[in-house]
């Protein structure tokens, strides 16, 4: 009996001498025995710490993936309609444009930002004095000009002054240099061949859906005096708003 008691005391002292960071430190003998696996190894509790190289449970990975998919769906539900709406506006309603060159000075200055609206020309033709954006015949470059002659009118430049149906148009135009002009075909499109004129042009009667356009800066403008009257198909829309610079903000009627 004395020997058995000494053995128990020795085992107890060995348990008490376990280091503080040992997995079994501070654990009762009954708990220690329950945690021992085959051969006396410490059994795993089943928890994994991701910080020391473990992986997240499958259920948590699935939750994260579902959250990402849900977020992407929400973003697409907002972005795609916005892109579609912007494309519709650009194609059929309005378009931003920038003034290039000096042909429309002093009313429009280089690098000013404008909004061209397209909707009104689906229902009505361009009218006198409207500032329009059009494709230059042949080159298809976008240019900005002012409508000075509409279908059925006779346009003439005589002694440097613009005449529409024999009446002087306001503002007056004074041509101070020789220009090269193309003659217009019957449908209003430009025809091959150049004709030279000084301060005189025309008279030319505008056919159906054909318009005469000029730059406000008449001495520095490539317009109907050089490429002839333009068909309505070439006109993209009219200038509606000048939004930049803010100090020159204008709504054009």
Active site residues: 103, 145
Nearest to 214 by CA among 110, 151, 134, 120: 134
- Distance in angstroms (rounded) separating the CA atoms of residues 71 and 242: 39
Residue pair 129/239 in contact by the 8 Å Cβ criterion: no
Distance, first Cα to last Cα, the chain: 117
DSSP letter string, 109-155: -TT-EEEEE-GGGGTS---TT-EEEEEPTTT--EEEEEEEE-TT-EE
Which residues 6+ apart lie within 8 Å of 130 measured at CB? Answer: 146, 147, 238, 239, 252
């Amino acid at each position: 009996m004395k020997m058995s008691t000494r053995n128990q005391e020795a085992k107890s002292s060995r348990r008490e001498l376990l280091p503080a960071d040992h997995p079994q430190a501070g654990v009762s003998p009954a708990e220690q025995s329950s945690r021992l696996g085959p051969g006396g190894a410490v059994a795993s509790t089943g928890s994994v710490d991701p910080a020391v190289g473990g992986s997240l449970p499958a259920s948590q990975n699935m939750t994260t993936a579902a959250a990402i998919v849900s977020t992407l769906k929400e973003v697409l539900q907002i972005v795609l309609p916005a892109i579609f709406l912007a494309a519709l506006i650009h194609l059929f309603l309005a378009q931003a444009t920038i003034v290039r060159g000096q042909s429309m000075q002093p009313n429009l200055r280089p690098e000013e930002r404008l909004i061209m609206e397209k909707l009104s020309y689906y229902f009505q033709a361009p009218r006198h004095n409207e500032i329009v954006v059009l494709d230059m015949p042949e080159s298809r470059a976008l240019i900005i000009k002012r409508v000075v002659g509409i279908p059925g009118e006779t346009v003439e430049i005589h002694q440097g002054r613009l005449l529409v149906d024999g009446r002087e148009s306001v503002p007056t135009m004074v041509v101070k240099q020789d220009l090269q002009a193309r003659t217009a075909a019957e449908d209003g499109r430009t025809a091959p061949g150049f004709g030279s004129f000084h301060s005189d042009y025309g008279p030319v009667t505008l056919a159906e859906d054909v318009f005469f356009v000029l730059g406000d800066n008449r001495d520095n403008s490539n317009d109907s005096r050089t490429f002839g009257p333009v068909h309505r198909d070439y006109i993209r829309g009219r200038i509606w708003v000048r939004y930049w610079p803010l100090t020159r903000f204008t709504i054009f009627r």
